[in-house]
């Protein structure tokens, strides 16, 4: 008798790749993304409904008649954070439909679900299945693949997270610049959360994209044994399809949230106008232009005490908006900006005032190739409304007034995935946190005269920063090995990217600006 070949067990990633492969070339990228994430959403809320139904039966097994009644009542599901599902939009019923009827059945289910669950208003893409117009057999194949994603089969505590993360990342990598803005790579989000430690209180993101900041924060809280119900999440997003993604992403994980009533600009339609929060995590669009017109928002309360941010670039508008949202005695914000914000001449007065008001705590320059929508190196800023010291999450912080920590991580680019993209390892994230938290924690009496390590970090006082015209470019403070002394402009121009060449060409008649442009890239021009 012939020996039967052993059937290879499918990995989760194989199934997810197969989902994408069935759709290859059959629909626009955003439609494929929305369709797949909607299917995953329906599958997982169906699984959670079934799990909760089993729990209700188990908890009331001594009174079978009551149990039969309880499983039909929405309140027994909602108190556990589970959506109550009618028969006609449960996953197991939908997948029984004939392939030719599936698209209409799924779109109808979405419409009914949104009508019955207020938290899902404007969260699900309408008519996405009929709009995509897949061949019935293709849609059936995709549904069959999604149906294989089962918690009993894949023993993963965060299976939902793995699936959502996979699709969000996969479609972001292949998206154009505009489509790629909604997703912040996982390791960067984890780094921000690990640095500012948003373990309790209120968390806000003014441009929340697909909700990744909130999700990672909740994971960190759980990892530290905390209760995610102690965190209240607030956010806003201007792009309608991304706003829906965020609501789906949070709802499918059971995270309570307030993202406002609709998608809109944080600047012109602030839906959390009077809210003050404990923590902010954000990745605003880099160098956003046309965020306001020349004659609007000139007297906005968010700029009070500062100059009006230039209409040509929203970087400092984001900074002042977030500063305005922070709880005035203890609020902490971690956010990303393009490197140009470190030394822009047209925002000098705002930057100077931020430093004089002692709002900037730390600046971290990240490696290139970490984002799917751009290859530039970007900066992680930390603002802190309390640098005077005291207890913070079990740590005793020292007084850090009039100090700023600069950290240069551009050479931490060894972890490559998808052939070219850089991510931080868990060990690297831990090492960055050690640098920052030790700087915060160290006793003043034991503190070295200089908290510095060449080519990595440096703690600068306000007087030193003022002497450099309030520049926040780390390479102006961190000591670098003088390996670039002989580097001339002509040689450098041959090794840098087109974007920087354009910047330098623009400033070729101003030697100081040209030097700063090179220093932003890490060249030692002194």
- Give the SS3 label for residue 382: strand
Nearest to 213 by CA among 306, 342, 335, 381: 335
For the chain, give the percent of residues with pLDDT over 90.
57
- Give the SS3 label for residue 303: helix
Q: Where in the chain is the domain with CATH 1.20.1260.30?
A: 12-155
Summarised one tens digit per residue, pLDDT across range 224-272 is 777 888 899 999 999 888 898 889 888 888 888 999 999 999 999 999 9
Residue 68 CA to residue 73 CA, distance in Å, equals: 10
Residue 524 CA to residue 526 CA, distance in Å, equals: 6
Summarised one tens digit per residue, pLDDT across range 285-323 is 888 998 998 888 999 999 999 999 999 999 999 999 999
Summarised one tens digit per residue, pLDDT across range 117-129 is 888 888 888 999 9
Residue 278 CA to residue 232 CA, distance in Å, equals: 10
DSSP string of 42-64, one letter each residue:
HHHHHHHHHHHHHHHHHHTTT-H
Contact 478/456 with Cβ under 8 angstroms?
yes
Helices within 348-497 (DSSP H only): 348-356, 426-441, 462-467, 489-493
CATH architecture type of domain 179-479: 3-Layer(aba) Sandwich (3.40)
Fold exhibited by the domain 12-155: Ferritin (1.20.1260)
Summarised one tens digit per residue, pLDDT across range 390-418 is 999 889 999 999 999 999 999 999 988 77
Exposed e or buried b for every residue in 199-215, given b needs 16+ CB within 10 A?
A: bbebbbbbbbbbbbbbb
pLDDT of residue 10: 79
Spatial neighbors of 64 by CB under 8 A, at least 6 apart, are none
Rounded (10°) angle between helices 212-223 and 240-251: 20
Q: Where in the chain is the domain with CATH 3.40.50.150?
A: 179-479
Cα 320 to the chain's mean position, in Å? Answer: 19
pLDDT of residue 504: 57
Contact 191/213 with Cβ under 8 angstroms?
no
User: Distances from the Cα of 504 to the Cαs of 134, 203, 206, 267, 499, in angstroms?
Assistant: 49, 39, 32, 31, 9
pLDDT < 50 stretches in the chain: 7, 177-180, 483-487, 489-490, 499, 524, 526
β partners of residue 231: 201
Query: What tokens were used for 19?
Result: 């989902």
Q: Write phi, then psi, for 361 (nearest 5 degrees).
A: -105, -40
Residue 429 CA to residue 416 CA, distance in Å, equals: 15
Strands (E), 255-338: 257-258, 279-282, 332-338
The C-alpha R_g of the chain, in whole angstroms, comes to 25
Residue 408 CA to residue 375 CA, distance in Å, equals: 17
pLDDT of residue 481: 73
Which run of H or E residues covers position 159?
helix 159-173
């Amino acid at each position: 008798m012939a020996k039967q070949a052993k059937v290879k067990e499918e990995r989760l990633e194989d199934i997810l790749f197969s989902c994408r492969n069935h759709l290859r070339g059959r629909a626009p990228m955003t439609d494929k993304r929305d369709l797949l994430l909607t299917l995953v959403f329906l599958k997982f809320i169906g699984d959670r409904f079934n799990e909760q139904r089993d729990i209700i039966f188990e908890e009331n097994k001594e009174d079978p008649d009551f149990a039969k009644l309880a499983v039909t009542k929405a309140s027994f599901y909602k108190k556990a954070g589970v959506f109550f599902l009618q028969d006609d939009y449960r996953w197991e019923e939908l997948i029984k439909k004939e392939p030719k009827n599936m698209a209409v059945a799924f779109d109808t289910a979405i419409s009914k679900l949104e009508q019955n669950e207020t938290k899902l208003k404007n969260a699900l893409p309408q008519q996405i299945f009929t709009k995509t117009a897949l061949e019935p057999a293709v849609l059936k194949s995709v549904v069959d693949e999604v149906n294989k994603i089962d918690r009993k089969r894949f023993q993963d505590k965060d299976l939902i997270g793995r699936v959502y993360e996979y699709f969000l990342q996969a479609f972001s990598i292949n998206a154009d610049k505009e489509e790629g803005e909604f997703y912040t790579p996982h390791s960067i989000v984890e780094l921000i959360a690990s640095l500012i430690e948003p373990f309790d209180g209120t968390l806000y993101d003014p441009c929340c994209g697909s909700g990744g900041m909130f999700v990672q924060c909740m994971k960190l809280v759980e990892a530290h044994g905390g209760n995610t119900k102690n965190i209240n999440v607030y956010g806003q997003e201007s792009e309608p399809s991304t706003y829906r993604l965020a609501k789906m992403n949070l709802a499918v994980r059971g995270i309570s949230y307030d993202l406002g009533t609709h998608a809109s600009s944080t600047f012109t339609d602030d839906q959390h106008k009077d809210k003050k929060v404990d923590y902010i995590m954000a990745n605003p669009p880099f160098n956003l232009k046309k965020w306001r017109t020349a004659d609007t928002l000139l007297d906005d309360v968010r700029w009070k005490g500062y100059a009006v941010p230039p209409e040509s670039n929203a970087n400092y508008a984001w900074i002042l908006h977030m500063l305005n949202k922070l709880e005035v005695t203890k609020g902490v914000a971690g956010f990303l900006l393009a490197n140009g914000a470190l030394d822009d001449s047209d925002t000098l007065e705002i930057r100077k005032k931020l430093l004089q008001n002692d709002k900037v705590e730390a600046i971290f320059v990240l490696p290139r190739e970490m984002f799917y929508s751009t290859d530039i190196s970007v900066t992680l800023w930390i603002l802190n409304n309390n640098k005077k010291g005291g207890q913070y999450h079990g740590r005793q912080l020292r007084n850090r007034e009039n100090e700023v920590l600069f950290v240069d991580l551009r050479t931490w680019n060894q972890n490559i995935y998808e052939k070219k993209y850089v991510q931080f390892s868990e060990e690297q994230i831990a090492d960055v946190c050690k640098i920052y938290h030790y700087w915060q924690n160290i006793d003043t009496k034991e503190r070295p005269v200089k908290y510095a390590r060449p080519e990595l970090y440096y703690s600068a006082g306000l007087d030193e920063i003022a002497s450099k015209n309030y520049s926040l470019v780390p390479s102006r403070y961190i000591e670098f090995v003088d390996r670039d002394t002989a580097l001339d402009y002509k040689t450098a121009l041959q090794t840098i990217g087109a974007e920087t060449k354009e910047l330098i060409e623009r400033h070729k008649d101003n030697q100081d600006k040209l030097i700063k442009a090179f220093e932003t890239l890490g060249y030692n021009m002194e």
